[in-house]
Amino acid sequence: MKYGFFDDERKEYVITNPQTPFPWINYLGNKDFFSLISNTAGGYSFYKDAKFRRINRYRYNNVPMDNGGRYFYINDEGTVWSPGWKPVKTELDHYECRHGLSYTSIKGEKNDIEAEVVFFVPLNALCEVQKMKLTNKSSKTKKIKLFSLIEWCLWNAEDDQNNLQRNFSTGEVEIHGSTLYHKTEYKERRNHYAFYHVNAPIQGFDTDRESFIGLYNEFSHPDAVFTGKPKNSEAHGWSPIASHCLEVELQPGESKEYIFLLGYVENTEDKKWESKGVINKTKANRTIEQFNSSEKVNRALDKLATYWDNLLSNYSIHSGNDKLDRMVNIWNQYQCMVTFNMSRSASFFEVGIGRGMGFRDSNQDLIGFIHQIPERARERIIDIASTQFEDGGAYHQYQPLTKRGNNAVGGNFNDDPLWLILSTTAYIKETGDFSILEEIVPFDNDESRAKTHFEHLKASFYHVVNNLGPHQLPLIGRADWNDCLNLNCFSKDPNESFQTTENQTGGSAESIMIAGLFVVYGKDFVELCRRIGRKDEVDNAQEHVDKMVKSIKKHGWDGEWFLRAYDSFGNKVGSKDNEEGKIFIESQGWCTMAGIGKNEGMCEKALNSVKKYLDCEYGIVLNHPAFTKYVIEYGEISTYPAGYKENAGIFCHNNPWVMIGETMIGRGDQAWEYFRKICPSYLEEISDLHKTEPYAYAQMIAGKDAFKPGEAKNSWLTGTAAWTYYVITQYILGVKPSYDGLEISPCIPKTWKSYTVSRKFRGAVYEISIDNSEGVNCGIKELTINGETMHKNVIPIQKAGTINKVNVKMG
Ligand code: BGC
Ligand code: NOJ
């Protein structure tokens, strides 16, 4: 069953039934000020950090789900309703939510009044704009009351929910005309406040929650709204809110627009006050001035649209397959931007108070993003590298506000360092900017211990070499990419975190996934050294890579597939000899991407085993058979019920590794089939089962052993976004940035006859037409650029500003 449709022309997903199987959300904001917004206007905003600068309050996992947001209420002669259906839930005559690129528009109609609100965060502004348009579609004059509502969060989102003995006394507001200010803790250590404004005179307001709603009422039934009388309350402690009340008279056919602004201001210490106890409103007024008319707001919306058109134009395809085109051209790129901005902090599954920026996550996110804004990718790479240790290891996470490593989580996840080679080489291939390697970058944020970025990559490479176990395979440390394969944890205490506990120190557990990863990015490191003339490094590094290949072949092969690991007793993990967890996806992905034993048929065998044991209707599960009991020497992986998360769930992030592996052996049909299975636009028809948004990838889809196979969770903030984008654009459609130019090597289903790709690369445009009338999976017979025949499949870099025609004949 569907709950809406794609409007590709407008780059929107249109939700026509507010009762989606889960709140379907969107992200507003591109830098610094961000908002999450659901299809019923639930959600919240924050400045830079969802934990420390939460602007409005949101209660996760509430009843009903998605309770709280930026709400509007209309009282039309006693009929009370909300344009987004919630919170009042009066049945609407018409409802429509359009999630677009960094904006959401929600329209409701009841008794011939139409209310349409467009929510967005303008470029370079610290506010959320809410443009409300009210239209009287009836033939008589209507007099209605319009109420807004925001509930303030007392800034630190975690403390806000916990420290009530203090919080109920600290809340402070200021009321000034149509602007309601939130200034809790401003008089002490905070130099920031927030405000909620409307560009029209108001009939009244409320800033105290209990006065507005009534102590025993709910968001759906605020006293002030139902009686039609704002209380003009002034909050002192308890729970400050901001609510405007406007009386609106509409003639038949008339429309009126109001601009509501939710803003954030930071002042310097010396400019905090206008007079004693009165906040300095200069910056707030400036923001208000910028967006105080529909014309100004429409201009800001146009700018936002142009911004996105530009970003998306760097890579677009026309394949004639709408489901594919809309993912590649719009939604997957968009999600990559969201993961770049949010990492794993704030979604409807990540509560915005827990996780900082992950070292491995942030590096991987970049591969879906570099082509959009390479300068910001460069900054991010340097930020990440600055938290690395001198021995190449890394804090597992860092905090976005301080950009410092997170001591509470620590390090010792031994895959972490290698992802820095991936992000850096991907960046250089896209931009040609080798100068990043010369950048002086601190270790552990300590400037006195700074070295070139190249030295960081070298440290990453040698961190693996210097941490090998008994089989000359990489020690796993606390865990590798699979955070739940905790081979040194040995936890019996339910109060211990699997993520931070390491009861078995000096553990000798080894990871074959890291081994494969090392071969892939080790080769990249060698190639990079060669390119920059570091011949001194090349031979040594190559030797370590070769040795690793040998170790994998000798100790990492199980006959039909690659082993996953050795546990801390030296026992095999992911072997036919195991009772459960006989085969795992990660090592099949990485060892086939590394081409280990390709000539001996190992890659093909491993991938056939994936198909046989791990593939199912909804994607490839992580392991098989699923664990049915807790295995202390494996850790968290065996805690999940069978079929969920890392225990045999379809952990979508890793499916693309197998897809790439398939393209390495030329099996385009199989690669595509795996792609299609987890691709959200293909799952739109089964939205009631799939549950999460049909325009965003989810981290996990319940696997074949689950109670409800096919049901997704954890949408939006997942490495799946970057990896699916990477595999479809570079390995399946086959347009790959490389040091010397654009490499063309499609690996597609035989049935695809043709498609075109438009790619901006290092300043030039490439219009690439692929002709597969011979119906092959891969292979190029003829390649011309601007009519000239090429004898290899790398198109040399063309002059910036040129538009180049590339014709490719497969065969
Ligand atoms: C989850 C992982 C996650 C880890 C770190 C685990 O409980 O299953 O997917 O990466 O926590 O927060
Ligand atoms: C989610 C985490 O963010 C990521 O770092 C990890 O690799 C996967 N879970 C798999 O455990």
Among 260, 244, 301, 329, smallest CA distance to 45 is for 260
Residue 409 pLDDT: 86
Residue 17 pLDDT: 98
Beta strands (DSSP E) in 77-168 are 79-81, 94-100, 103-110, 113-120, 127-136, 142-155
Residues of the chain with pLDDT under 70: none
Beta strands (DSSP E) in 608-723 are 615-616, 619-620, 623-624, 650-651, 698-701, 712-715
pTM of the model: 0.98
Q: What distance in Å separates the CA atoms of residue 722 and residue 653, rounded to the nearest whole number?
A: 9
Q: Is 762 helix (H, G, I), strand (E, B) or coil?
A: coil
Quote the ligand 1 centre to 652 CA distance (angstroms): 14
Residue 534 DSSP one-character state: -
Q: What distance in Å separates the CA atoms of residue 240 and residue 188, rounded to the nearest whole number?
A: 18
Best residue among 499, 627, 634 to mutate for probing ligand 1, ranked by most atoms within 8 Å of CB: 499
- Report whether residue 361 contacts ligand 1, using a CB cutoff of 6 Å: no
Q: What distance in Å separates the CA atoms of residue 806 and residue 677, rounded to the nearest whole number?
A: 31
Tell me how many helices (H) and strands (E) the chain has: 20, 44
Residue with structure tokens 């300095």? 280
Q: What distance in Å separates the CA atoms of residue 283 and residue 11, rounded to the nearest whole number?
A: 34
Residue 69 DSSP one-character state: B
Residue 410 pLDDT: 86
Q: Is 615 helix (H, G, I), strand (E, B) or coil?
A: strand
User: Considering only CA atoms, which residue is closest to atom 3 of ligand 1?
Assistant: 483
Q: Are strands 79-81 and 278-279 parallel, antiparallel or unpaired?
A: unpaired
Residue with structure tokens 């210097």? 466
Closest ligand 1 atom, residue 651 Cα: 9
Give me the active site residues, please.
483
Residue 27 pLDDT: 98
Nearest ligand, measured from the Cα of 636: 1
Residue 389's contacts (CB-CB under 8 Å, 6 or more residues apart) are: 395, 411, 443, 444, 459
> Could you read off the pLDDT of 103-144 as tens digits, one per residue?
999 999 999 999 999 999 999 999 999 999 999 999 999 999
Best residue among 353, 364, 483, 720 to mutate for probing ligand 1, ranked by most atoms within 8 Å of CB: 483
Among 244, 238, 239, smallest CA distance to 224 is for 244
Give yes or no for a contact between 85 and 92, defined as CB atoms under 8 angstroms apart: yes
Residue 91 pLDDT: 98
Residue 14 pLDDT: 99
> Could you read off the pLDDT of 383-417 as tens digits, one per residue?
999 999 999 999 999 987 788 888 888 889 999 99
